[in-house]
Amino acid sequence: MTCLPPDIEARLEPATRLPSLPAVVSELLVLASNHDAPLTDFATLLSRDPALCLQLLRLANSPYYRRGCDPVICCEHAVTRLGIDGTLTALLGFTLVRDATRGPLADYWRRTLAAAHLIPAIAKVVNPRHPGELSTRALLREVGVLLLYALDPNYFELTAQAATREQRLALEHRHLGCDRDQASSWLARRWQLPTNLFLQRPLEPEGQRHHEWLDGLCLELADELAGCCLDDDSDAIPAVLHRFQQRMNMDGNAQARLVDELASRLETLPDFLATTLSADEDIERLLVAGKQRLHGLTMSLAERLHHREDQLISLQRDNEALDVRASTDALTGLANRSALERRLEEMLEDAHARDKPLSVLFLDLDHFKPLNDRYGHRLGDIVLVNVAATLRDAIRESDLAARYGGEEFVIALRNTPEPGALRVAQRLQQWLAEQPMAQVDQRPLYVSASIGIAQWQPGMDSIDAASLVEKADLQMYQAKQAGRARISKAEQLQERAGETS
């Protein structure tokens, strides 16, 4: 790949704002203000302006839009990838060429556009693989000329004496330090465009993939025919075609089809060029309109972005609310069993990491069934709600109280060794003994609980949340067995609440 000297690269940099044709831009602005304009209309329009086409391909091949997909080489695919907003963002930053209807710059344009106009007819017969791709290549084939012209406004005068392409390239090199091919491949690298966009002349078929050779040949034919048409040298067309058909080794049938296709395309060429290169419109008006449209687009994109952000925030809130609901016990508002398992696992990991003890209390209300049976389920619910509030009051913010199920509760106490856990259990039993959990016939109703204690402390084998709860549950069972309203911890049974302190 060609590397240009740094000073040439520095001079080419500002030249990359390639100018567009006012007539095409004018149509673009009409399309841009039509909200229902189909994307294909943009693609069709862009196939008439190398600068706009390049800007579009540049954005479509940028890492953001490409996202690991194949590179895009034709306008149709580029507009599909970018969507309407991306397409307009790429296009509305246009600059305009002044006086595109006369002189050598206009000639350059005519030839480029004529070749791009003719290529679909040729591709249809010769290599119908990707006709859109070939049209784009025809349009961009000599885009290096636009760069060199931006580099030096006398470019066309400088190269006027050259009769062949080779002579032109040599002159460009001599006067400007690089030729059109080098300039366009520099641009391809700079904008991360697929390098085969600027396919040049066809080499011989040997050593090249066949379709690339065919593509190159089609472009060359389109260019030569465009030259004949614009030089008003239609007598030269049969000879050009004949040479091409021989190189292609075309049979009679294909030759006839090619002539037919080209004839209909050539018929529409004058109209196509006339509209494309119509007398320059008011350049300033177009520039202002373009800026306004771009501004409007930026505003509406920003508005939509804000709207999306709002939607995202409310979605996050809904998700958080759902999370809370999914991990909360509906009756008591405590953590439910699945949240307990998750959070206790985290607390255990934290305890292991910090080398701090962690205690678990398993609490089961005593004789809750007879209470339910005697006073009704609703009163039972009130008791459960009040017991939950009592548990919440008995622990620190960093601890955890959960409803394990039915009338069973679990408390996890961070950084708490066995004596501390015992104190909490005793406090709970004392509170339950002192505070009624409901009123029945204006009389206070008290409940008691059996509590089992288990813990993990530094030096012990590691343990998971479920096993630790199970150990505490086992102790709770011991407390029940021993007569209820008791606290049990490994190997030691405490006295009845109120009897110990």
CB atoms within 10 A of CB 98: 9
**Per-residue contact string for residues 94-123; x = within reach of ligand GTP by CB under 6 A:** ------------------------------
What's the CA gap between 81 and 285, in Å, rounded?
30
What's the CA gap between 377 and 478, in Å, rounded?
27
**Per-residue contact string for residues 194-223; x = within reach of ligand GTP by CB under 6 A:** ------------------------------
Per CB under 6 A, the list member of 293, 343, 484, 496 interacting with ligand GTP is 484
Per CB under 6 A, the list member of 367, 374, 396, 423 interacting with ligand GTP is 367
Per CB under 6 A, the list member of 42, 198, 362, 368 interacting with ligand GTP is 368
User: Which CB sits closer to ligand GTP, 89 or 332?
Assistant: 332
Distance in angstroms between the alpha carbons of the first and the last residue of the chain = 88
User: Which CB sits closer to ligand GTP, 258 or 339?
Assistant: 339
Calculate the CA 396 to chain-centre distance.
44
**Minimal distance, residue 339 CB to ligand GTP, in Å:** 17
User: Which CB sits closer to ligand GTP, 306 or 367?
Assistant: 367
User: Which CB sits closer to ligand GTP, 12 or 371?
Assistant: 371
Binding part of the chain for ligand GTP, among 10-18, 289-297, 365-373, 430-438 by CB under 6 A, reads 365-373
User: Which CB sits closer to ligand GTP, 189 or 480?
Assistant: 480
Amino acid at 101: T
Q: Does 366 bind ligand GTP (CB under 6 A)?
A: yes
Q: Does 333 bind ligand GTP (CB under 6 A)?
A: no
What's the CA gap between 206 and 486, in Å, rounded?
95
Which of 239, 258, 182, 247 lies closest to 3, judged by CA?
182
User: Which CB sits closer to ligand GTP, 20 or 488?
Assistant: 488
Contact between 395 and 345 (Cβ < 8 Å):
no
Per CB under 6 A, the list member of 365, 401, 402, 451 interacting with ligand GTP is 365
What's the CA gap between 31 and 39, in Å, rounded?
10
Distance (Å) of CA 4 to CA 10, 75, 174, 189: 10, 28, 14, 11
Composition of the chain by helix, strand, coil, percent to 5: 65, 10, 25
Task: Extract the tokens encoding 339.
Answer: 């949240």
Residue ranges of E strands in 387-448: 400-405, 408-413, 438-440, 443-445
The residues binding ligand GTP (CB under 6 A) are: 331, 364-369, 372, 377, 380-381, 384, 406-407, 480, 484
